[in-house]
């Protein structure tokens, strides 16, 4: 599972090379909210020096999206699904992507004040015999 904190640059370690079949791939990330089904896409660069061992991905969560440069707005804190596709260019359309290389779950953590807390309004009285 990936953890992304809203309003920050998040560093993620993945193993995308295992299923990648093209040279010099561009990775398209697709995020799907598990509650609202909202979808977001962005292209994230692999900055790892050892791509055959692991992929080092930076995903910036920010109000101002720059989807071709790894900046995405994941509006709702909570759980999202992610799917990573390999492709040869900076295409953001899911319909024109290459093969899927990884799938998983993302936990998006809100910034201070953005999460909704439950405050009980009922008081329970417990009697012991």
Segment 18-76, tens digit of pLDDT: 999 999 999 999 999 999 999 999 999 899 999 889 999 999 999 999 999 999 999 99
Domain spans in the chain, listed from the N-terminal domain onward: 2-109
CATH fold for domain 2-109: Immunoglobulin-like (2.60.40)
Give yes or no for residue 120 having a pLDDT over 80: no
List the one residue out of 71, 104, 82 whose CA is nearest residue 29. Answer: 82
List the one residue out of 4, 94, 119 whose CA is nearest residue 42. Answer: 94
Give yes or no for residue 115 having a pLDDT over 60: no
Q: Quote the mean pLDDT of the chain.
A: 89
The pair of structure tokens assigned to 108 is 């998006």
Q: How far apart are the first and last CA of the chain?
A: 47
Confidence of residue 98 (pLDDT cuts 50, 70, 90): confident
Burial class of residue 29, CB neighbours in 10 A (0-12, 13-18, 19+): buried
């Amino acid at each position: 599972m990936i953890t992304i904190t809203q309003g920050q640059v998040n560093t993620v370690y993945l193993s995308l090379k295992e299923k990648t079949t093209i040279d010099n791939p561009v990775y398209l990330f697709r995020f799907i909210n598990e509650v609202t089904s909202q979808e977001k896409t962005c292209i994230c660069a692999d900055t790892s020096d050892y791509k055959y061992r692991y992929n080092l991905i930076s995903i910036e969560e920010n109000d101002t999206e720059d989807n071709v440069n790894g900046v995405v707005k994941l509006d709702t804190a909570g759980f999202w699904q992610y799917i990573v596709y390999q492709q040869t260019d900076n295409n953001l359309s899911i319909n024109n992507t290459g093969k899927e290389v990884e799938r998983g779950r993302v936990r998006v953590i809100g910034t201070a004040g953005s999460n909704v807390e439950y405050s009980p309004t009922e008081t329970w009285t417990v009697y012991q015999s």
